[in-house]
Structure 1
Amino acid sequence: MTDIIVIGGGIAGVSAAARLSDGAQVTLIEGESALGYHASGRSAALFEENYGAPSVVALNKASSAYQQPYLSPRGILLLGRAGEDDQFDEDAQILKCPEISVDEARTYIPILNHAITRAAYHADAFDIDTDRMIQDFAKTVRANGGRVLTGQAVTEIKHDRTWTVHCGDEVFTADVLVNAAGAWADQIAAMAGVAPIGIMPLRRSMARLPAPGGHDVSDWPIFFGVGETWYAKPDAGKLLVSPADEDLVAPQDAWADDMVLAEGLDRYSQHVTEPVTRVETSWAGLRSFAPDRTLVLGPDRQVPDFIWCAGQGGYGFQTAPAASQFVAELVLGRPPHIDATTIKSLSPARF
């Protein structure tokens, strides 16, 4: 049986390890003390089938059936103001959101102000139970005889017919190495003697606000302005607001930039009647993209036993079921379940 090491305990790595464990002996290594600590633990946790590049949408659609037990209704509401018609029309078309009246939009979000001139809505957007999905994938690894190890930061990687991965005093060996290290994917590649592909960690900030005006926000849809310059999403009786920032930073335990957050909250405030009077807490995560903003899945073109599972950006959870299945199909020699065009767009060979 093939021995495989998966580096990275976010949703990308855990899902890949689960799929690979059905046919291989898998060891999942995560440097932090818990799974899903970085980007996966700071996700907006939304499944929107039409959100992303064409290859992302294809993976979303292929993931839909698997996602169902983890989803709960949310809905999505796009808002436009005077002078934003062209961008509004483009966004509504991409998201397949039918236009509704502003009065109807206020039945979903009663705090919309009179600057709103257009709105579009559809119900087919869902919250994802992200923690349960991660834990279920981890349970699958263990049930199939694999190991899920946390607190194992990689310090050295050697390759001589097989892979040797050092985590301090711990040493792991395998025939195949899967790089699912998120923002650190290029660093892991360089450590392994593999050419980096230009993964860009982009910071995205988030603020948690008290429910505006004392409203019950539990049934509100996620709502946002044109061009994705901010969004707001109900969460546990509060409202999460993001400036939808994408600032390039080094791989790190990210934190929110106060000025960026303030600018995003101002953009949100221009659409609603209730002022932001208090931020309860704030944080940031890293959405890591390849140069073409499409996932990178499959064997490196120069080192075929080094498997990329990277560049998930903000689409990690919604693409994970299909992306992980595809990685396992490639590694285990099984027929792929996604189309040839999508396969080509995901291949590391494009770099």
Structure 2
Amino acid sequence: MTIEADVAVIGAGMAGVSVAHELAADHEVVLLEQESRPAYHTTGRSAAMFLQSYGGPEIRALTAASRPLYAEAGDLLTPRPLLWVASAAQLGRLDALATAQPALVRLDPSAAVAHCPALRPAWVAGALLEGDASEIDVLGLHQHYLGGARRRGASVLVGAAVRTGRHTGGHWHLDTAAGPVRAAAVVNAAGAWGDVVAAALGVPSIGLRPMRRTAAVARATAVDRGWPLIADVGETFYFRPEGAGVLVSPADETPSEPCDARPDDVDVALALDRVNEATTLGLRSVSTAWAGLRTFAPDRNPVAGPDPAAPGLFWLAGQGGYGIQIAPALGRLAAAAVTGAAVPAALSVARFR
């Protein structure tokens, strides 16, 4: 039996559930997920932060527009400041960041070490503080949107990979692993598989580039849960307290095919080495490690809007490493594109393809 809907959203990660939630208020929506459960890939492996100093101007604008929308989702932000640190060789980058974002507070090396005594005074040459940064309850946000979409009547199909699709008679006809689907509009929110889905629908790709990002929790002693997130301005490492240990990453961007990403031992070792160089933590072993795919469009800005060559097809892709923190604004923006509603001025910075 064919499933009928106004809109079929492909992908049940954060992008897909956020736009499905917005659309389901006034439309019949079916959410199609190729895996056995939603949020299996990048969303379910993200240790995301809400950082208003992260990304380019467009990303920062979408982040600012998302902040008031988090209040609608409940208590999902936990304060944790961000401390951008620089070695002597990175002071030029620090100066550039300070110029671009004057709201950041400049700290001298001793003040930086006061925020995180594990930093080596001889390594830290300068720092910038974003005092109102926060940790995001990623799964809480995902459940807010997924549960909200269901309560608004959306259907969620897992194990529903899209095999082929064609647009005829004013509708998209999708052949999925869960059966045929007919919808007036399709939203491609398939993350790293966005171009794969495009090929299945017979439309051109947009040049999405999945990049692997590795993280691990290292065993450590004398960790203060109140430390900020520490990131170097060269974006070669970051760390923060995580339980009784320390979450570390080499901030890698390793090109990858769409896949079930796995951590590479070399990348984990690199994260430990870089953090140990900048701190006195002396990290040696890890309790767990994982990897996810952050998918970028060629200009590293999200693609949100209608495909000019395919009637009824809309993109919500290429969020890179910013997809969680900008999800509230970007989901609302993409929904407005689908329905033809006016785009709020605060959200108009994301380009349509």
Output the TM-score relative to the length of structure 1.
Answer: 0.93
Paired letter, 1:57? R
Alignment map for 1:247-262 (pairs within 5 Å): 247-262=254-269
Identity %: 38
Moved more, 176-185 or 58-67: 58-67
Instruction: Tell me by how many angstroms 1:340 deviates.
Output: 8.5
Which residue number corresponds to residue 294 of structure 1?
301
**Contact conserved, 1:269 with 1:275, CA < 8 A, in 2?**
yes
Paired letter, 2:215? M
**Contact conserved, 2:159 with 2:178, CA < 8 A, in 1?**
no
Which residue number corresponds to residue 217 of structure 2?
208
CA RMSD of aligned residues (A): 1.7
**Contact conserved, 1:326 with 1:338, CA < 8 A, in 2?**
no
Instruction: Tell me by how many angstroms 1:97 deviates.
Output: 2.2
Aligned residues: 344
Residue 76 of structure 1: which of 77, 82, 98 is its match? 82
Paired letter, 1:70? L
**Contact conserved, 1:62 with 1:338, CA < 8 A, in 2?**
no
Which residue number corresponds to residue 321 of structure 1?
328
Which residue number corresponds to residue 53 of structure 1?
56
Classify the secondary structure of the residue corresponding to 1:250.
coil
Change (3 A) 1:239 1:340: closer
Counterpart-to-counterpart distance in 1, 2:13 and 2:265: 26
Counterpart-to-counterpart distance in 1, 2:325 and 2:110: 31
Classify the secondary structure of the residue corresponding to 1:110.
coil
Mark the runs of 5 or more structure 2 residues left unpaired by the alignment.
none
Output the TM-score relative to the length of structure 2.
Answer: 0.93
**Contact conserved, 2:86 with 2:125, CA < 8 A, in 1?**
yes
Which residue number corresponds to residue 239 of structure 1?
246
Mark the runs of 5 or more structure 1 residues left unpaired by the alignment.
none
Residue 305 of structure 1: which of 294, 306, 312 is its match? 312
Which residue number corresponds to residue 172 of structure 1?
181
Alignment map for 1:1-351 (pairs within 5 Å): 3-68=6-71, 69-94=75-100, 96-113=103-120, 114-160=122-168, 161-168=170-177, 170-210=179-219, 212=220, 214-338=221-345, 342-343=349-350, 346-348=351-353
Change (3 A) 1:92 1:257: farther
Instruction: Tell me by how many angstroms 1:339 deviates.
Output: 5.2
**Contact conserved, 2:167 with 2:311, CA < 8 A, in 1?**
no
Paired letter, 1:88? L
Paired letter, 2:280? T
Instruction: Tell me by how many angstroms 1:341 deviates.
Output: 6.2
Change (3 A) 1:128 1:275: same
CA deviation digits over 1:176-221, x for unaligned, max 9? 00000000000101110111010000111111112x3x22432111
Classify the secondary structure of the residue corresponding to 1:173.
strand
Counterpart-to-counterpart distance in 2, 1:51 and 1:80: 16
Paired letter, 1:22? A
Classify the secondary structure of the residue corresponding to 1:63.
helix
